[in-house]
Amino acid sequence: MSTPHNQACKGDIAKNVLMPGDPLRAKFIAENFLENPRLVNEVRAAYAYTGMYRGKVVSVMASGMGMPSMGIYSYELFSIYDVNNIIRIGSSGAYVTDLNLYDVVLAESVWSESSFARTQNGSSDDILYPSRELNDRILETAKKLGYLLTPTRVHSSDVFYCEANMDDYREINRKHQCTCVDMESFALFHNAKVLNKNAACLLTISDSFPTGEKASAKERQESFTTMMKIALEACV
């Protein structure tokens, strides 16, 4: 069965899915890490590939930017394509100087001011959590690979450009203990909770609010390989 957003047939997508936001990052992962990858979706350029990684069938699919896009694709993957585990692998802006460019963080909780959960099923939760089992597997995998992985609380925002009268990153860090920001993880975690599935979120620091440092678009697509390797190995 396909959907208006996904031309893949049931069975074309693996039980374990890696979800970068960027379609070109999905393409990069498929071409550089998967054996015999097949393009199973290209509707709206939300590229999805399925291939083998160390003997395990794995899919990688772009979520697009923001909670509405992640909300659509993750819900359909869980509910229509029988996906069990989704690991988001995205970029993040650091709110604290303790996080540097290319550091990898693991969301141990996500805070959001978004109305996504309330609109989706009436939930008033503003803090959501990943699958403990999946997070433990990711932490153990990073340890085995010798990679430093920082568990933290992520701010998941609907808005990229805020006006000056709104709380800035320093206030959000102070009030909610968030050390970095993304735009998709809250919707992913909510859908996983609603549908009794598993979700986790790995993020690579691509820019820093305190220092102004930024990775280029090409670096965001191709240089976040530590995060990619941890996620892939966690699927094996």
The pLDDT assigned to 193 comes to 98
Q: What is the pLDDT of residues 28-61, one digit of tens each?
A: 999 999 999 999 999 999 999 999 999 999 999 9
- On the question of pLDDT at 220 being above 80, the answer is no
> Binning pLDDT at 50, 70 and 90, where does residue 223 land?
confident
Which residue of the set 125, 126, 158, 207 is catalytic?
207
CA 185 to chain centre: 6
**Mind giving me the DSSP string for 144-164?**
HHT---EEEEEEE-S-SS--T
158 and 114 in contact (C-beta within 8 Å)?
yes
Q: What is the pLDDT of residues 187-219, one digit of tens each?
A: 999 999 999 999 999 999 999 999 999 988 877
Cα–Cα distance between 231 and 202 in angstroms, integer?
Answer: 8
Cα–Cα distance between 10 and 108 in angstroms, integer?
Answer: 31
91 and 204 in contact (C-beta within 8 Å)?
yes
Nearest to 114 by CA among 190, 19, 61, 52: 190
Q: What is the pLDDT of residues 123-180, one digit of tens each?
A: 999 999 999 999 999 999 999 999 999 999 999 999 999 999 999 999 999 999 999 9
Whether residue 207 lies in the annotated active site: yes
